[in-house]
Amino acid sequence: MIQHVDAHMMLTLDGFGTGLNQSRERPFGTIDPRQLARWMFEDADNNRAEIDAVVSYGAFVMGRNMFAAPGPDAWEPEWTGWWGANPPYHAEVFVLTHYSRPSIKMEGGTTFHFITNGPEVALAEARAAAGSRNVAIAGGVSTTRHYLNSGDIDTLHLKIAPLLAGEGDRLWDGLTAKLEPIAARHSKYATHIDYRVVK
């Protein structure tokens, strides 16, 4: 069996996955998550397959700002992510960071590991942890762009919400990967477009 590496990302029409001024209170900064993720919150029945797919992996890699808002260099030990006591991953999650921190075992099988020796090592650890299952790059924008450009991602699953951000972190800025559409589907609050990364 070939192990795949996928990425799932919510974007605005104008290509932003995060707005400006991300904070603990606003994980997407100036982008309103109730709008960006409206397809999940208000139309879950019609997007069940896509909602389930996001967390259907054997291990995950995420960027530092996907785990915590930008802040002081050192970790604040009470911060354990945005997802409460029982995060939706239920698997090993490898967080890219420059500052080491002990792993955090959460309820429901999620463990956050903090990887300080780079994205290649983080992905290798996730691949090993996933065993026979696939691996997902869980965001944010710059981490996903990194793994798209490095050729590590097989399929990019975009969920494009019909709103504009105007500024923030745009997936397209600096992207060098070549993409080919392989699926597209709409629901009321988002279009789901899947791209194969051409290698």
| CB neighbour list of residue 153: distance below 8 Å, 6 or more residues apart | 5, 6, 7, 137, 144, 147, 177, 197
Least separation in angstroms between CB 27 and a copy of itself: 23
| Phi/psi of residue 65, nearest 5 degrees | -80, -5
Dihedral sign of CA atoms 121, 125, 131, 137 in order: negative
Round to whole Å and give the CA distance between 199 and 182. Answer: 15
Spatial contact of 140 and 63, defined as CB atoms under 8 Å apart: yes
| CB neighbour list of residue 75: distance below 8 Å, 6 or more residues apart | 68, 97, 99, 101, 114
Dihedral sign of CA atoms 52, 67, 5, 181 in order: positive
Least separation in angstroms between CB 102 and a copy of itself: 40
Residue placing its CB nearer to a copy of itself in the complex, 120 or 173: 173
Least separation in angstroms between CB 45 and a copy of itself: 17
Applying CB under 8 A, which residues contact a copy of itself?
13-15, 162, 164, 170, 172-173, 175, 178-193, 195
Least separation in angstroms between CB 151 and a copy of itself: 16
Residue placing its CB nearer to a copy of itself in the complex, 69 or 175: 175
List residues bridging with 11 in a β-sheet.
160
Residue placing its CB nearer to a copy of itself in the complex, 118 or 174: 174
Residue placing its CB nearer to a copy of itself in the complex, 3 or 35: 35
Least separation in angstroms between CB 141 and a copy of itself: 13
Residue placing its CB nearer to a copy of itself in the complex, 55 or 162: 162
